[in-house]
A and B are shown apart, each in its own frame.
Chain A
Amino acid sequence: MDRGMVIFVGALLTFSSSWLGLILYPYWQMQNEQPYAKTPGDDLYPRPLGGAALAGVKVYQANGCLYCHTQQVRSAKFGNWWEDGQMKTGADIRRGWGTRRTVSRDYIYDRPTMLGTMRTGPDLANVGTRYAEAWHHPHLLNPRAINGWSTMPSFAFLYTREKVVGGQKSDKALKLGREWTVNPGYRWRPTDAEWAAILARRVSTLPDVSQAATPNPFNLTTAAGKAELLAFWLTTDEEDYQVIPTPEAESLVAYLLELRKAETPLPEVKE
């Protein structure tokens, strides 16, 4: 092996073999896959994304959602868990991540195709069928506002906190207790001194708020009563401020709502 040409030709041939086999052949096989209609004239599936959802792909990409969430539902025969004597569990489907496995046709309009390789969090291939917009926004602002156990990052930078003008909150304002909105992305709690000041300043209105919501008014003369009131007060909306999604947050949620890859039946899915 003292000749450069031997190394060059050998390297060319070995590498070409995998290039032809793993890239060009699948390219030839799948490049022209078409959307599906059960009978001619029916709605086609899948359809290309448009508008806000298309812009949402960019937000999903820019923030690396793919690194914790896959977008692929695996077959009902996939996954080995042998404890209860049942070899194949198809855990993806049984966890409710989709009604069927995903196939190549589900992805023909994806740019880029974000299958993912890590499940720190659940699969999102079909997340559009699971949650509504009203769930997504508070969850993105601070996932722990919805699930205390969550380790997902707060995406508070996709939201703005602003003063309410004209006494009327925006339709888009998040309906979320003040403990999550005073310092977006974090969980806020007043210090003892702050709480005392708030109580002193608003002692006339606070009990009204509490009495409207509970059958038994808080006894503000005891420490326990004050603590109960604090706990309740933290779950109520802020009066003077509101948290609004930015256009980026809205498009991201629009994209998440469009993720319905494991729903429409396709003939090739049969196992």
Chain B
Amino acid sequence: MATTTPLTQTDRERSALERREIDASCRVPVLYFATSAAFWLLVGTVLGIIASIKLHSPYFLTGSPELTFGRVRMAHLQAVGVGWSAMMVMAAAIWLMCRLSRVALIYPTLLVFAGTMWNIGMIADVVGILSGDAQSVEWLDAPSYVPPFFITGVGIVSAWTVATFRRRRELHVYVTQWYILAAVFWFPWLYTVAVLMIFWMPATGVIQPVVNWWFGHNYLGLWLTPIAVGTTYYIIPKVIGRPVHSYYLSIIGFWSLALFYSWAGMHHLIGGPIPAWLATASTVGSMMMFIPVIAVAINHHMTMLGSFQRLKYSPALRFTVFGAISYTAVSFQGSIEALKDFSEVAHFTHYTVAHAHLGMYGFFTMTMFGLFYYMVPRLTGREWASPTLIRVHFWCDAIGITIYFVSLSIGGWWQGRMLNNPNIPMPNIIEYLLRFLFARSLAGGLIGLGHLAFALLLVANLMGWGRQRSGGPTYFVEPAPNAGDVQG
């Protein structure tokens, strides 16, 4: 990317043609993964809203075992945390790997098979949990018959990624590719070890929660985060037409994330019945996470410097930058949260739920929406039907996650303070929290509205109800003539 040789018009046209050919080869498998992901996002949103309402209005939809709070909450986490996130991560990995390696997609049928494995697994997962087969192991609630589908699916995608990488025609390996390669290697290992040590050959006692949180934290840190950070490294320079600020900062960011993130998980068990050194080791790992996060933040900020006005025009850029800023915020917060004194209050409260949603939604999901708005028109050849709907989508989600985060952070903090004061009885804490939980339901409704706009746009695009892509990308407003070569 960091080339300084001026490109001739012929060079540009040749690259554009090559990209179009690669995109055409990606169309079916990548859209299959991406639309499946979007479907699970919608399922998860409905489940999330139901679970949220139940926390302040216990008579809401009570009476059927399928819709009891615990099951809906587990199904919500599986639908968004595994269905949406993992399938979207795979869609991103497949498309970006093809583009950055400059090779047409190989073995499309195999990828469709892998996606189908994942979809079958997800149906069995959500239906199984709602009908009473859940495992009650956070992030790993999928019933016992589900993991083989996931392992097969992701195993194929991982092998495919390596095979594509080995066929690369571009000699320079871009930072996004490092993240993709590492993530597709880490996740199958992580998942298999976790399933093995918790379900297939259960380890003794508290080793299970140790494995559980090593998995739970690394699922975000070594599977979703690398691909989402890799996506921001791709989308931001592409849209604003400038190379990444510093190659060396991206190297520091990558290797320090690889080393420190994987050590951070045990802070979920601070104060619990595990050896104290385990939690301490993870607190150190969490503090060291400042390094990769600051490296990435500086790199993105310096890349964006002078191009912030383009947030007005480009939907892809606006979602991606929102995600990148949330990444910095949620990571800083996470490092502080891992400190023992802080955790003594925040642990076991909605504060942690707010933090998790800032990461999974504010960072990961918003970044992936950015990728959607950039990628899908290039795959379908159609532009987005309505900039207004994109605007509705953005503002509903941005305001929704803000209300969500602020209300639960405040409520959760005081919940923790009150839980630590033995003179405050439980009923008072439960009653105090109701207003914040109600605000969270409102936020969830707003986010759901945004997702509805997103789903309409996606369906319209897939049905071919937009203008041809050759007319240039969809903008919120047309850029001023001197705004430069805005590309997305």
Contact = CB atoms under 8 A, between A and B. Distances in A.
B427 A80 contact: no
Interface stretch (A36-44, A116-124, A174-182, A201-209): A116-124
A140 B48 CA distance: 23
Contacts of B186: 11, 15
B344 interface: yes
B56 interface: yes
Contacts of B197: 23, 27
Contacts of A105: 205
A4 B299 CA distance: 23
B262 A26 contact: no
Contacts of B426: 95, 121-122
Interface in A95-145: 95, 101-122, 143-144
> 10 nearest interchain CB pairs?
A64-B70, A18-B262, A107-B205, A94-B422, A61-B136, A14-B258, A79-B420, A149-B427, A119-B348, A11-B182
Interface SS majority for chain A: loop
Interface in A43-72: 60-68, 70, 72
A149 B55 contact: no
A119 B136 contact: no
Contact of A15 (B189, B266, B345): B189
A20 B197 CA distance: 14
B422 A27 contact: no
Interface in A132-178: 143-144, 147, 149-157
Nearest to A94: B422
Given A11-B186, A107-B273, A157-B63, A1 B173 contact: yes
B207 A89 contact: no
Which of B166, B258, B263: most chain A CB closer than 10 A? B258
A75 interface: yes
Interface of A: 1-4, 7-8, 10-12, 14-15, 17-19, 21-23, 26-27, 29-33, 60-68, 70, 72, 74-75, 78-81, 83, 89, 91, 94-95, 101-122, 143-144, 147, 149-157, 185-186
Contact of B69 (A27, A64, A89, A91): A64
Nearest to B356: A117
A21 B266 CA distance: 11
B62 A153 contact: yes
Contact of B68 (A10, A150, A155): A155
Interface string B279-290: 001100100000
Contacts of A185: 62-63
B70 A186 contact: no
21 contacts: A4-B162, A14-B255, A17-B262, A18-B214, A22-B214, A23-B211, A27-B207, A61-B134, A66-B70, A66-B138, A67-B74, A67-B136, A67-B138, A75-B271, A80-B345, A101-B273, A110-B205, A115-B206, A115-B273, A151-B58, A156-B62
A149 B214 CA distance: 36
A156 B63 contact: yes
Nearest to A32: B204
A91 B278 contact: no
Contacts of A66: 70, 136, 138
Interface in B242-282: 251, 255, 258-259, 262-263, 265-266, 268-269, 271-275, 278, 281-282
A74 B132 CA distance: 31
Given A33-B205, A110-B205, A117-B352, 9 more contacts: A23-B193, A27-B203, A64-B68, A64-B136, A72-B273, A81-B417, A104-B273, A104-B275, A115-B206
Given A120-B55, A150-B58, A151-B56, A112 B133 contact: no
Interface in B172-200: 172-173, 178, 181-182, 185-186, 189-190, 193, 197-199
B349 A4 contact: no
Which of B70, B178, B353, B431: most chain A CB closer than 10 A? B70
Contact of B272 (A14, A63, A74, A152): A74
B298 interface: no
B165 interface: yes
Interface of B: 54-56, 58-59, 62-65, 68-71, 73-74, 132-138, 141, 162, 165-166, 171-173, 178, 181-182, 185-186, 189-190, 193, 197-199, 202-211, 214, 218, 222, 251, 255, 258-259, 262-263, 265-266, 268-269, 271-275, 278, 281-282, 285, 341, 344-345, 347-350, 352-353, 417, 419-422, 426-427, 430-431, 434
B420 A104 contact: no
A70 B263 contact: no
A106 B281 CA distance: 23
A116 to B, nearest CB: 8
A146 B281 CA distance: 44
A153 B69 contact: yes
A65 B132 CA distance: 12
Contacts of A144: 58
Nearest to B425: A95
Given A80-B341, A80-B344, A61 B135 contact: yes
Contacts of A78: 271, 344
Nearest to A155: B68
Contacts of B419: 79, 91, 119
Nearest to B348: A119
Given A26-B274, A89-B421, A153-B58, A70 B210 contact: no
B216 to A, nearest CB: 9
Given A7-B182, A91-B421, A117 B268 contact: yes
A66 B207 CA distance: 17
A137 B486 CA distance: 65
B136 A65 contact: yes
Contacts of B138: 66-67, 117
A152 B58 contact: yes
Contact of A26 (B64, B210, B273, B417): B210
Contact of B278 (A22, A67, A102): A22
Given A22-B210, A23-B210, A149-B430, A89 B205 contact: no
Given A2-B173, A27-B207, A67-B73, A89 B420 contact: yes
Contacts of A75: 271
A1 B178 contact: yes
A63 B259 contact: no
A111 to B, nearest CB: 5
A144 B57 CA distance: 12
Contacts of B206: 30, 104, 107, 113, 115
Given A89-B420, A121-B426, A62 B202 contact: no
B344 A79 contact: yes
Contacts of A1: 173, 178, 251
